[in-house]
Copies of this chain bind each other. A is one copy, B any other.
Amino acid sequence: MPSAREPKTDPKKRKRLSSAERREEFIAKAIEFFAQEGFESSTRELARRLGVTQPLLYRYFPSKEDLIAEVYKVVYVNRWRDEWDAMIADRSQPIRERMTAFYHSYTDVVFRADWMRIFLFSGLKGVDINQRYLRRVRERILDPIVRECRFEAGFPDLTPSAAEIEYAWVLHGGIYYYGVRRLIYESAELDNKSFVIESSLDAFLMEIAKLRGPG
């Protein structure tokens, strides 16, 4: 079927590509499926939605567990954008602008039903991938943000304090929870991501400035 659709190329490559594409098709559908139904749902139902029989899945993945591992990998690893580092570190812009731009980009990625539901499902299953992900958020987002705030405030020591990191987590959590309310519980008051980002940022920057002011 795919060879009929596609223009002719090197036979070997075409075949391999077709196989790889089918595999990717399976993974893509698995993401959608498991995000909707949870990881305890059956491979038979997934196969049904793919329009293939269930044993075919085992031609591409040794076990259901391996398929799920692929799902994690694509959602968590492949959707992470390396340019976020640069966005936060770009000192030609004030930190507020950088954070605004970053959180718009970040929420474009994570404010998606499949991302959020898979994150929640895997977190409840106790998969270590969640803790690894949060560590990554801490190290590559929150930590740099606090350091840039310190830099902009003229501090010689950029090392974040535990309190500053906790402020950053409250900021991050407030924004994230807005996504949860919208995409999981469908109960957000405002359909306005920008408003939430801007006001959360306001609050964070005020808090973190106050931390320095009186002390």
Give A residues with C-beta under 8 Å from B. 38, 40, 117, 120-121, 123-125, 130-131, 134-135, 138, 162-163, 165-167, 169-178, 180-181, 184-190, 192, 195-196, 199-200, 202-204, 206-207, 210
Q: Interface majority SS on A: helix, strand, loop or mixed? A: helix
Say how many copies of this protein the assembly contains.
Answer: 2
Question: Are B189 and A162 in contact, with the CB atoms below 8 A?
Answer: yes
Contact of A189 among B169, B185, B190, B204 (CB under 8 A): B169
Question: Are A185 and B40 in contact, with the CB atoms below 8 A?
Answer: no
Contact of A203 among B169, B180, B203 (CB under 8 A): B203
| Assembled-state Cα–Cα distance A134/B202 (Å) | 25
Apart from A131-B185, A203-B204, what 7 extra A-B contacts exist at CB < 8 Å?
A: A123-B185, A131-B187, A166-B192, A172-B177, A173-B174, A174-B177, A203-B206
